Amino acid sequence: MLKSLAPDEQLYANIIRGDVELKRGHAASAIDRFRAALSVSDAWLAHFERARAYVAAGAFTQADSDLELCLQRRGEATAVYLDDNPSYHLLPPVYYYLARAQEGLHSPAATESYKTFLSIKQSGDEKGLVADARRRLPSP
């Protein structure tokens, strides 16, 4: 069914389906959907979403790799929806999920990644991520 869609439509259909699976708590199915999206296009958004699913699945090494790639290609975060509207709001959560992956890998770098996320999002809450990041920081 998805093969009959244009490549951009296949990409976003797989990302949406992956997000649904992730929200249902089915990280492995979500990862499969995001892999399918990446087989259509090496899209920044698909790497970010797959990293979130890897964190949910406890696959921290894989999450770290995808999130590092997202940071290397941070400019693409401004155009994830392939339209003329900038979408830079997706970059700050990369630091949160990178910190989660680093925490899972027992890396001391997690603290700095949480601090970077919080310095960007000081006044807002990104779906509860700010409160969670604050809880995860070591006590001074």
Task: Sketch the domain layout of the chain as residue ranges.
Answer: 2-136
What whole-number distance in Å separates Cα of residue 80 and Cα of residue 51? 15
SS3 content of the chain, % helix, strand, coil (to 5): 75, 0, 25
Tokens of 117: 């996320």
Q: Has residue 87 got a pLDDT over 80?
A: no
Closest alpha carbon to 92 in 126, 64, 135 = 126
pLDDT band at 140 (very low <50, low <70, confident <90, very high): low
Which class is domain 2-136?
A: mainly alpha
What whole-number distance in Å separates Cα of residue 13 and Cα of residue 36? 10
* pLDDT tens-digit readout, 55-73: 999 999 999 999 999 999 9
